Structure 1
Amino acid sequence: MRASALKGPVKNDGPNVEVDVYSFMTTTPNVLTDSINHERMLVLPSKEDEFETWLSGTPAEAFALARSFDPAAMRIVQSGFDKEDLLAA
């Protein structure tokens, strides 16, 4: 399991600046995502109360959500080298 986060001002050979950052956590892949990355998959909160815990809970509560997502609730949309941009207008 891995987590990454960055808080507060960032300094890189100059004045402190505030930056917007994000973090994500990975866990053991399920059988569907294992074919893409056999080491890890994103933790995917899927219930309303899990979102609130993820955003506002304690670190221990957030880590308790770190589990593989149910592969039956997922589907492969595209695979292979010739993938189409499905979000293009």
Structure 2
Amino acid sequence: GEGGGGEGGETGDEPDAVETFSIVTTEPNDLVADLHHRMAVILDPDAGEEETWLHGGPDEAAALLDPYPSDDLTAHPVSTRVNSPSVDAPDLIEPVASD
């Protein structure tokens, strides 16, 4: 499955142009399922998936929408500071003690 969301805004170069993006989602793998009912689609550049996504046909792109393997990901608790859009610091991804 797929879904998405995004933001857009006028660019400075062309007043009628709008830059947007989407986050394509899929069902979660086992690791993410405990946290949320969706997860972002993750492409494996070593497997050529970025190239396929950008230059392949629709059927090839659709084949990349499976959840990324849980074994290739790690998860740990992080600070609740990540919830504030005004905070942008490298330590936000550092593990913290879980409650």
- TM-score range relative to shorter protein: 0.5 to 0.7
Question: What code does the residue aligned with 2:68 have?
Answer: F
What secondary structure does 1:60 align onto? helix
Identity %: 28
Corresponding residue of 1:50 = 49
Distance (Å, rounded) in 2 between the aligned partners of 1:53 and 1:35: 30
CA contact (8 A) 2:26 2:38 kept: yes
Distance (Å, rounded) in 2 between the aligned partners of 1:40 and 1:5: 12
Deviations 1:37-68, CA, capped at 9 Å, x for gaps? 0x211110113310101122222211110111
* 79 and 5 in structure 1: CA distance in 2 versus 1, 3 angstrom threshold: closer
Q: Which runs of 5+ in 2 are unaligned?
A: 83-87, 92-99
With normalisation by structure 1, the TM-score equals: 0.67
Q: Which has the higher contact order (CA 8 A, sep 6+)?
A: 1
Question: What code does the residue aligned with 2:90 have?
Answer: L
Number of residue pairs aligned between Structure 1 and Structure 2:
79
Q: Which runs of 5+ in 1 are unaligned?
A: 11-15
Distance (Å, rounded) in 1 between the aligned partners of 2:5 and 2:59: 15
The structure in which a higher percent of residues are helix is 2
* 18 and 33 in structure 1: CA distance in 2 versus 1, 3 angstrom threshold: same
Distance (Å, rounded) in 1 between the aligned partners of 2:42 and 2:17: 28
The CA RMSD measured in Å over matched residues stands at 3.1
